[in-house]
Amino acid sequence: MNQKSVCLLALLFLSTLFSGSLRAEDGYKLWLQYDQVQDATKLQAYRQTVNELVVQGSSPTLTAVQKELQMGLQGLLGKPVPASKQANQQNILVAGTPASSALIKALNLDAKLKTVGDEGYLLLTANQNGKKQTVIAANTDIGVLYGSFHFLRLLQTHQDISNLSVASAPKIKHRVLNHWDNLDRTVERGYAGFSLWDWHRLPGYIDQRYIDYARANASIGINGTVLTNVNANALVLTEDYLKKVAALADAFRPYGLKVYLTARFSAPIEIGGLKTADPLDPQVQAWWNKKSDEIYSHIPDFGGFLVKANSEGQPGPQNYGRNHADGANMLADAVAGKGGIVMWRAFVYSEDEPDDRAKQAYNEFKPLDGKFRDNVLVQVKNGAIDFQPREPFHPLFGAMPKTPLMMEFQITQEYLGQGTTLAYLSPMYKETLEADTYAEGKGSTVAKVVDGTLHNYQQTGIAGVANIGNDRNWTGHLFGQSNWYAFGRLAWNHALSSEEIAEEWVKMTFTNDNKFVAPVKDMMLTSHEAVVNYMTPLGLHHIMGWSHHYGPGPWIKDKHRADWTSVYYHKADEKGIGFDRTKSGSNAVSQYFPPVAKTYGNIKKVPEKYLLWFHHVPWDYKVNSGRTLWNELAYRYSAGVDSVRQMQKTWDSLQGKVDEERFQHVKQLLAVQEQEAEWWRDACLLYFQTFSKRPIPADLEKPAHTLDYYMSLDPKFVPGI
Q: Should residue 41 be labelled a site residue for its own copies when binding is judged by CB under 8 A?
A: no
The yes-or-no answer on residue 414 being catalytic is yes
Of 110 and 240, which has the nearer Cβ to its own copies? Answer: 240
Closer to its own copies by Cβ: residue 124 or 261 = 261
Is 294 considered catalytic here?
A: no
- Which residues partner with 175 through β-bridges? 462
Stretch that binds its own copies, among 196-204, 502-510, 567-575, 694-702 (CB under 8 A): 196-204
Residue 607 as a binder of its own copies (CB under 8 A): the answer is: no
Residue (of 676, 679, 677, 655) closest to 666 by Cα position: 655
Q: Which is nearer to its own copies, 8 or 102 (CB)?
A: 8
How buried is 498 (Cβ within 10 angstroms: 0-12 exposed, 13-18 middle, 19+ buried)?
buried
- Give the footprint of its own copies on residues 53-112 (CB under 8 A): 71, 74-75, 79-80
Under 8 Å between Cβ of 68 and 145: yes
Cβ proximity of 659 and 509 under 8 Å: no
Is 704 among the residues that bind its own copies (CB under 8 A)? no
Integer Cα distance of 508 and 153 in angstroms: 7
Binding of its own copies at residue 15 (CB under 8 A)? yes
We find the least distance from the C-beta atom of residue 472 to its own copies, in angstroms, to be 6
Q: Which of 250, 386, 440, 522 is catalytic?
A: 386
Q: How far is CA 272 from CA 284, 302, 308, 316, 331, in A?
A: 9, 21, 19, 16, 15
Q: How far is the CB of 402 from its own copies (least distance, A)?
A: 41
We find the least distance from the C-beta atom of residue 563 to its own copies, in angstroms, to be 27
Determine, following the binding rule CB under 8 A, whether residue 190 of this chain makes contact with its own copies. Answer: no
Q: Is 312 a catalytic residue?
A: yes
State how far the Cα of 173 lies from the Cα of 170, in Å rounded to an integer.
7
The answer to the question of residue 139 lying near its own copies (CB under 8 A) is no
Work out how close the CB of 62 gets to its own copies at its nearest, in angstroms, rounded to a whole number: 19
Q: How far apart are CA 264 and CA 102, in angstroms?
A: 48
Backbone angles phi, psi at 231, to 5 degrees: -80, 90
CB of 436 to its own copies, least distance (A): 40
**Positions of E strands within 216-372:** 224-226, 258-262, 304-307, 341-345
Which segments within 153-262 are labelled E, that is strand? 165-168, 174-178, 224-226, 258-262
Does 472 bind its own copies (CB under 8 A)? Our answer is yes
What are the DSSP E strand ranges found in 48-180?
52-55, 83-84, 92-96, 121-128, 131-137, 165-168, 174-178
Catalytic-role residue among 39, 160, 312, 434 = 312
Binding piece for its own copies, criterion CB under 8 A, among 268-276, 398-406, 497-505, 664-672 = 664-672
Biggest alpha carbon–alpha carbon distance for the chain: 86
For its own copies, give the closer residue by CB, 469 or 703. 469
Instruction: Count CB atoms within 10 A of the CB of residue 374.
Output: 10
Residues comprising the chain, all counted: 721
Tell me the closest approach of the beta carbon of residue 191 to its own copies, in angstroms.
Answer: 8
Q: Which range of residues in 21-29, 391-399, 409-417, 599-607 is near its own copies by CB under 8 A? A: 21-29
Report the site for its own copies in 403-422 (rule: CB under 8 A).
Answer: 419-420
Tell me the three state secondary structure of residue 515: helix
The catalytic residue positions are 312, 386, 414
Binding site for its own copies (CB under 8 A): 3-4, 7, 10-11, 14-15, 17-18, 21-24, 26, 28-29, 34, 71, 74-75, 79-80, 183-185, 193-194, 199-201, 204-206, 208-209, 235, 240, 419-420, 470-472, 661, 664-665, 668-669, 671-672, 675, 715-719
